[in-house]
Structure 1
Amino acid sequence: MPTVTVDLNADLGESFGVWQLGDDDAMLDIITSANVACGFHAGDAATLARTCRAAAARGVRIGAQVSYRDLAGFGRRFIDVPPDELIADVIYQIGALQALAKASGAAVSYVKPHGALYNAIVTNQAQAGAVAAAVHTVDPNLPVLGLAGSAFFVEAERVGLRTVPEAFADRSYRPDGRLVSRRERNAVLSDVDEISDRVASMVQRGRVAAVDGSTIPITVASVCVHGDSPGAVRIASAVRDRLTSDGVALAPFS
C-alpha cells in the first residue's frame, strides 16, 4: 500500500513592527510550507524578509498569502473590490514577496488567499476570477491553495493554474464543506486531541465531522495549522506527531 503524503502549512510573517504575532521560528521547525503575509493584512517589509530567510534556511517552501488591503481588520473583513483593482492588488503582493524571497535565496512557490478573501472566493465568481487572473499573469506555473469545489478553483483551472486542496486543522466545517464563520461559536477549535484526530481522519479517510454531527467528505493535499491561534505551536506539533506516528509522510506538495 503506497505511503500517504501530505503538506503541512501555516500563516507566518504576520507580525508588524513592535507588534509580535505567533512564533514563526518554532512553526518553521514543524511545517513544510509557509504562507507568508504580503503586507496587506499583516507583515512589514523587514518581518517578511526575516521570515523568508528563516524559511529558506530550513528548506520550508514559501507561498504568497494575498489579502484584501485591510491591516486594521487583519484581512478578515469582506471588501467589495472591483475585479481590476483586485487583480492589481494581488499582483502587487505576489511581486513584493517574490523580491524578498529571491533576496533570501529562495522563491515564491505558490499562492494562497487569506481570511475574508479566501472565504469570499469560495462563491464570489468575479473576485475568484480576479485572483486567478492575477496569479496567472505573474506566473502561470504557480499553484494555488484553496477549498476544493470553490469558485476559485473553477476559475483557476479555467486559466490553467494547478489547484491544491487544503483542509484546516483547527476550524469547524459546515455540512456543505465550507468553514464555519469566525463570528460563530466553536468556529475555532482548541482541543489538541480532537484536532489531531480530525486531521488524521481528513488525511487518511477523506472524512471530517461537520458542526451538525454529520460526516462529510473532504479532499486534502495540504493541512493548515494557523500560526496565530492560541497554542499554535503545541497544536502544530501534535498534528505533526500524530500524522507521522500513523505513517503519513510530511512533504511540500510537488
Structure 2
Amino acid sequence: MAPLQIELFMCRTDNFGVLMHDPETGETASIDAPEEEPIRIALNDKGWPLTHILTTHRHGDHIEGNVNLKQRFGATIIGPQSEADRIPGIDRTVKDGDRFTFAGRPVDVIATPGHTMGHVCYHLPQDKLLFSADTLFALGCGRVFEGTADDMWTSLQRLIALPDDTTVYFGHEYTLANARFAVTVDPDNQQLADRLAEIETLRADGRPTAPTTLGIEKATNPFLRPGDAGIRKTLGMQDASDVDVFAEIRGRKDRF
C-alpha cells in the first residue's frame, strides 16, 4: 500500500488547509473546509479529485467551503453526529468509537468535547496520522468554548494515549503565540526553549509549523503536562489535581 500524500496550505487568515490523497485509488479528503478557493486551487495544482470532506466540528471557519466544494466535486461530507444539524451538506454522521475506511484504510473517530461539545478528531492508525483540528495545537489546545476544563483535559488525555510517533495536523497557525506563552509556565524546559527558537525561525521565513508529533507535544506542550513538577512549581500548585493545573494554564493562556 503506497503512503498517503499530504498537502498543507493556508486558508482564511490562520487556518490550515490539509488534503490527504491516496495515489493508488485516487481518493482525496479535505480535513474540514475552511475556505473554498484555496482548497480548489490546491486540488487543481495537484491534479487530485475531492472525494471526501472530513468535518471535525461545526464552527464556521471549518465548514465554510462545504457546500460549494460538494457541488463542484461531488464529495461526501462526513462529520460528528451531535452537530449534524449545523454542518452544511453533511452526508454521513459519525460518533465516538466509530471506524470507517478511506482508500481502504481504517479511520477511527475520537470524540474530543471541550472546544465544542461535538468536536471529533480523526486517527488513521496504520498511517500514524491524527487530525486534531481545534482540540490539540502545536504547543497549545483549543479554547474551551462549550465544555469545561475537565472535558478538555479528558479529551486531551485520549490523544496523549496514542503513540508518540503519530504525526499531528492541527487546525490553526497559532504556534508562535503558543510557544511564547508556554515558556512562561515552563521556563526551565530546555527542549521547549529550543523549540521556541526553531519556531521563530520558521515563522520569520514564512514556513508553517505543522505538522508536529505527539512525542514532541508530550515533551513541550504545557497543556499536556499538568502533572509536571516544574510547571506545578512555577504555578504554585504543587498539590493541585491535574485538571485544576490544566484549568489554570488554560486560563492564563486566555489572558496572555
**Which one has the largest radius of gyration?**
2
**Which structure features the higher share of strand residues?**
2
The verdict on a shared fold, with TM-score over 0.5 as the criterion, is: no
Asked which structure has the greater RCO (Cα within 8 Å, sep 6+), the reply is: 1
